[in-house]
Amino acid sequence: MTNPIYLALDVPRLEDGVALAKKVKGHVGGIKLGLEFFCAHGAHGVHLIAQVGLPIFLDLKFYDIPNTVAGAMQAIHVLEPSIVTVHASGGRAMLEDAKAAAAEHTKVVGVTMLTSMDQRDLERTGVEGSAHDHVMRLAELSKDAGLDGIVCSGQEIKSVHDQWKDGFFVVPGLRPAGSAVGDQKRVVTPRQARDHGASVLVIGRPISRADDPAQAARAIEATL
Ligand SMILES: O=C(O)c1cc(=O)[nH]c(=O)n1[C@@H]1O[C@H](COP(=O)(O)O)[C@@H](O)[C@H]1O
């Protein structure tokens, strides 16, 4: 089994990011670079992390008109990401154009409902109905638009997997039993997410803030 853990490298200093990626190499399956990293270090930073030799998940959560998203997607071909995120709520045309503009070997996944949101947060954005139904609706839209899969919490992954057997599913908001939840609200353990069909487990602070990140990653992998 390939290691499904992608370390979310949400660190402000590039040197720290490179050091951390080197430390966990061999204990994770890939590195996720998100908005914090990309805004601070751009393409140069992505190239440096890629040199460590792990697959790169570029989590830029594109959300704009189709033409703009397609242009952005083309602009990141040079970074050769294995996975890229777009917001599923951007609508069918945006999702279709995002996928059409992506490099052949890049998986495009739609972010459904952020794991930092709960039912009340959802209602306050004007969406009626349950978080579960909202995620299922956006999963169906992503599938119909030709995306490779979605990002959702571990609370929905089982239902999504039941509906979309060959989908590629990224699950963040993961916490090993007993670790601090922080700003995440829809949380499960890495093992639960894996058992219910997650393809990729995105884990940040439980590894990056551990005294020994490599050991923390190994300990989580041992639970899978
Ligand atoms: O797209 C994501 O990766 C993402 C989606 C989501 O709904 N929730 C979520 O936490 N993430 C990302 O997953 C990572 C979780 O980090 P930790 O909470 O530190 O494990 C962060 O880099 C988030 O940007």
Tens-place pLDDT, residues 50-98: 999 999 999 999 999 999 999 999 999 999 999 999 999 999 999 999 9
φ and ψ of 130, to 5 deg:
-80, 160
pTM exceeds 0.90: yes
Classify residue 90 by its DSSP letter: G
The reported pLDDT for the residue numbered 139 is 98
The reported pLDDT for the residue numbered 128 is 92
The reported pLDDT for the residue numbered 87 is 98
Structural domain range at position 116: 5-223
CATH number for the domain that contains residue 161: 3.20.20.70
Closest C-alpha residue for ligand 1 atom 16: 204
CA of 76 relative to ligand 1 center, distance in Å: 20
Per the annotation, the verdict on 211 as an active-site residue is no
The reported pLDDT for the residue numbered 192 is 97
CB neighbour list of residue 119: distance below 8 Å, 6 or more residues apart: 130, 131
CA of 209 relative to ligand 1 center, distance in Å: 15
The reported pLDDT for the residue numbered 79 is 97
CA–CA distance, 171 with 190 (Å, rounded to integer): 9
Low-confidence ranges of the chain (pLDDT < 50): none
The reported pLDDT for the residue numbered 67 is 98
Per the annotation, the verdict on 61 as an active-site residue is yes
The reported pLDDT for the residue numbered 147 is 98
Query: Is 207 labelled as part of a ligand binding site?
Result: no
Residue 209 CA: which ligand 1 atom is closest? 19
Task: Look at residue 109 and give its three-state secondary structure.
Answer: strand
Per the annotation, the verdict on 64 as an active-site residue is yes
CA of 106 relative to ligand 1 center, distance in Å: 19
CB neighbour list of residue 214: distance below 8 Å, 6 or more residues apart: 23, 24, 26, 27
CA of 202 relative to ligand 1 center, distance in Å: 7
Whole-Å CA distances, 208 to 6, 125, 205, 212? 11, 31, 5, 8
CA proximity to 104, closest of 87, 84, 89, 121: 84
**Cβ–ligand 1 contact at 156 (below 6 Å):** no
Largest CA distance in the chain: 45
**Cβ–ligand 1 contact at 189 (below 6 Å):** no
CA–CA distance, 62 with 73 (Å, rounded to integer): 9
**Burial degree of 210 (CB within 10 A; 0-12, 13-18, 19+):** middle
The reported pLDDT for the residue numbered 153 is 97
Residue 32 CA: which ligand 1 atom is closest? 22
Number of structural domains in the chain: 1
Burial code (b: 16+ CB inside 10 Å, e: under 16) for 153-185 equals bbbbbebbbeebeebbbbbbbbbeeebeeeebb
CA–CA distance, 130 with 118 (Å, rounded to integer): 10
User: In the structure encoding, which two tokens stand for residue 69, read together?
Assistant: 């998203």
Is the Cβ–Cβ distance between 40 and 15 less than 8 Å?
Answer: no
CA–CA distance, 125 with 172 (Å, rounded to integer): 21
**Cβ–ligand 1 contact at 115 (below 6 Å):** yes
CA–CA distance, 120 with 99 (Å, rounded to integer): 32
